[in-house]
Amino acid sequence: MSTSTAAAETPRTVSNKMSQLDRLKLFTKVVADTGDFESMREFKPRDATTNPSLIFAATQKREYGYILDKVLEDQKNSGLAGAARIEDIIDHLLVAYGREILKIVPGRVSTETDARLSFDIAGSIAKARHLIDLYEKSGVSRDRILIKIASTWEGIHAAEVLQKEGIHCNLTLLFSLPQAVRCAEARVQLISPFVGRIYDWYKAAMKRDFTGAEDPGVKSVTEIYAYYKKFGYATEVMGASFRNTSQIVELAGCDLLTISPELLAKLAASYEPVERKLDPEAAKTADIERLTLDEKTFRFLLNEDAMATEKTAEGIRKFSADIVKLEKFIAEKL
């Protein structure tokens, strides 16, 4: 959904007496991109997102060891063995972290499916249903959970099925307008276009830096936001994967932005102006052509975009590698 009515009625530029973070919250729902509970308590985000990389990093910290220890104790008599036992422990671990996060944030938490299922429709659906079942058995409503799935054709198809069951999805590893359009057509709850990784690709390819509105990652999210508002799609846009606060400030007004603790701290310490850049009413008058997508067109357009193709594939590989790291870590614990 778009930003709240209260946010929409705020002036376009806010007084210098507030930090950039406080001002940003007037235009946009701020989400914590971390597995660190103390950061969430400090910066008071609305929602929180996790992924295998963040969960693996959290398991390495002594202060969060109690979560894994409890899961291992609770699941010691599961009757499972080998890979099935490790998978079961990881599923319960993801949900355990999510439950702890929901004690801190008032909104939702995103929990990621196994990236190795990114091209497996049935597998993605089964995993999402299982994670939601674990949440609901522990007393957490599915309305507070977003299941993260990669923005492949198969992943979006799986999300379309899940959304019809009331399982809300966050389509991640999204780098292009065709991916975003297909997600909107599937009535996905939320998408996470990766600003920083788009920026990284163009910086390396063009051998130059980008700032402000010319940043390719910023331009991508701006284009997607305008498309959604122009054609009345309800899917929420959540910019993700930021490299600097300039990218964040340029996207003030986006439905949501998920931000690392390091960048949240910089925004909280700065009193520079923040102006609303993305506005749903302005987007409705944008000159945008509607995309018509079937599977063949989607795959062709994605293939034509070298950045989106490479970054989607790279992201799946990296998240898959972190799941393997987590599996090895659990195996050593056992």
The answer to whether the beta carbons of residues 10 and 26 sit under 8 Å apart is: yes
Say which residue the tokens 């999805």 belong to.
169
Write the DSSP symbol of residue 13. B
What are the residues whose beta carbons fall under 8 Å from the beta carbon of 153, sequence distance 6 or more? Answer: 182, 295, 298, 299
In the chain, DSSP finds a helix count (H) and a strand count (E) of: 16, 8
Distance CA 222, CA 237 (A): 10
Write the DSSP symbol of residue 11. -
CA angle centred on 258, ends 253 and 259, rounded to 5°: 105
CB atoms within 10 A of CB 242: 23
Per DSSP, the three-state class of 278 is coil
The one-letter amino acid code at 34 reads: T
Distance CA 188, CA 228 (A): 12
What are the residues whose beta carbons fall under 8 Å from the beta carbon of 220, sequence distance 6 or more? Answer: 175, 176, 177, 193, 195, 198
- Whether the CA torsion 130, 135, 138, 141 is positive or negative: it is negative
Distance CA 286, CA 208 (A): 29
Annotated catalytic residue 127: no
State which H helix or E strand residue 282 sits in. Answer: helix 280-283
The residue annotated as part of the active site, out of 148, 229, 277, 311, is: 148
What is the per-residue DSSP string for 291-311? Answer: P---HHHHHHHHHH-HHHHHH
Cα dist. 126→97, 132, 178, 277 in Å?
A: 20, 10, 26, 39
Please identify every residue annotated as catalytic: 148
